[in-house]
Amino acid sequence: MGKSRILVVDDERMIRWSIQQALSKDGLSVAAVETGEEAIAQATDEMPDLVLLDITLPGIDGIEVLRRLKALEPSVSVVMVTAIEDVKVAVEAMRLGAYDYVSKPFDLDRLKVIVHNALDRHELRQEVEFHRKESIKKYGFHRVIGPSRKLKDVLEIARKVSMSEATTVLIQGESGTGKDLIAQAIHYESSRAPRPFMAINCTALPAELLESELMGHEKGAFTDAKAGKKGLFEIADGGTIFLDEIGDMQPGLQAKLLRFIENKAFRRVGGHRDITVDVRIVAATNRNLVELVQRGMFREDLYFRLNVIPIFIPPLRERTEDILPLADHFLAEISRDFKRSVRSFNETVRMRMVSYGWPGNVRELKNMTERAIILGIRDVIDEDDLPLPVSEPALQTLGRSNGSVEGVVAPAGTVDAPDGSGYRFRLPEEGVDLESVERDFIQQAIDFAGGNQTKAAELLTVTRDALRYRMKKFGLI
């Protein structure tokens, strides 16, 4: 690391010289100018790490120079130097972002202490900013890939949340849609980024252990509590807690979480005093919380507290424009990581990926790409590299199949699809019961939509009334 660069701004030649001599002996690179205009010009060419700035200058004064320096580079450290014992001026300088101030005549040894302390803080802030930028590279919104309008709407909301002071966010969506990526991006592109991002899965631990992990415990709170322990709420103070699968949290702990959200305070297990912290709660679930509330499995008051800013991530099958950009991204990323020279997917594979329903969403797409790269032997992925059922060209519109529909696509005679898509629908020699096929597809759509009839109707491209008519016809309601 090079020498720290100091700029001395003072209209008295002897003061400039004495400061230069003293600081140069400490291994610092020191430049000096006598006017505010010169200081701004030099800082514009190359911003110093620290400015020692006299308040009383010919031309523009030190306070105005401070304003302009901070406008150029908010992180620059500035120490004000003044012969005027004016508290108001000092307060104004500190308000504008000055690190400290010293009065003339000053003791050079004290000045050096202030300079080195300011440089230490400047270096620390640079490190924090470097790690923040690296975290954004690794965890920022750019990782959420896809040109679809639906995904752009999600990202627009998430970015607004990230820049806001909102302390509760609820992310909903099917498994594999990327709820964790959105949660990380909200944290790492926010002012909370320097503080911890702590994630925990609410299904991974029994309720008692989950409470201890979140809130910590006091020594002797239970058999194995041989020492006190901080929980994630304390560790993440100033940062973010990501509660994945919040829909599976036990009712007793739901009540304690609600109290924490409302009061910003909690007690460790076995503790008797409230601990206050500032954390943002980002909760996520693939379950229908409204339905859980109706069934008495999730607290209604907690749901409303979490649902202040809801973010719903649509499944991949509802944003097919994102499939190929995601697949190409995973292909490049995984090929690089595995040191493989796989260039692309062939056109048939690309067509089948778009037509497949992806019940496992983005996670399934990534896993499929990784498997194809590992097991493939060519530089272009073809149909032989795909796992079933992605490799099946027939009847993939819902992305799932059951026993009855499998009978429709069992190997036998084939007919070309009338739409010219290139698919060949294979029928069993004994034929099929068309009504059974229709019933099976309706049931698949209902299952796929989690019981939501409107979504099921959209999947089948019929109206909700038409869907209900068919459901009654086949005894599905």
Asked whether residue 383 is domain-assigned, the answer is no
Asked whether residue 139 is domain-assigned, the answer is no
Q: Would you say residue 75 has pLDDT above 90?
A: no
Supply the pLDDT for residue 424: 44
> Does one domain contain both 284 and 171?
yes
Supply the pLDDT for residue 135: 74
Q: Would you say residue 450 has pLDDT above 90?
A: no
DSSP per position, 24-82: HTTT-EEEEESSHHHHHHHHHHS--SEEEEESS-SSS-HHHHHHHHHHH-TT-EEEEEE
Asked whether residue 118 is domain-assigned, the answer is yes
> Does one domain contain both 125 and 185?
no
Q: CA-to-CA distance for 449 and 440, rounded, in angstroms? A: 14
Angle value at C-alpha 137, between 118 and 367, nearest 5 degrees: 150
Express each pLDDT in 416-425 by its tens digit.
444 444 444 4
Supply the pLDDT for residue 182: 97
Q: Which tokens hold the place of 168?
A: 């509760």
- Cβ–Cβ < 8 Å for 119, 56: no
- Cβ–Cβ < 8 Å for 372, 330: no
Structural domains counted in the chain: 2
> Does one domain contain both 159 and 90?
no
Supply the pLDDT for residue 403: 36
> Does one domain contain both 299 and 180?
yes
> pTM of the prediction?
0.64
Whose structure tokens read 């150029």? 72
3-class secondary structure, 283: strand
> Does one domain contain both 204 and 80?
no
Q: What single DSSP character describes residue 5? A: E
Asked whether residue 68 is domain-assigned, the answer is yes
Q: Which tokens hold the place of 133?
A: 């930028």
Between 284 and 385, the more confident residue is: 284
Q: How do beta strands 77-82 and 168-172 pair?
A: unpaired
In this structure, the chain runs to a length of 477
Full domain range(s) for residue 98: 5-133
Of 254, 289, 314, the one marking the end of a domain is 314
- Cβ–Cβ < 8 Å for 171, 182: yes
Supply the pLDDT for residue 276: 94
Percentage above 90 pLDDT, the chain: 49
Task: Return mean pLDDT, the chain.
Answer: 85
Q: Give the torsion through C-alpha atoms of 418, 422, 423, 427, to 10 deg.
A: 60
What would you report as the CA-atom Rg of the chain, rounded to the nearest whole angstrom? 31
Can you tell me the mean pLDDT for 34-49?
Answer: 92
Between 328 and 472, the more confident residue is: 328
Phi, psi torsion values for 161, nearest 5 degrees: -60, -45
CB atoms within 10 A of CB 252: 11
Asked whether residue 444 is domain-assigned, the answer is no
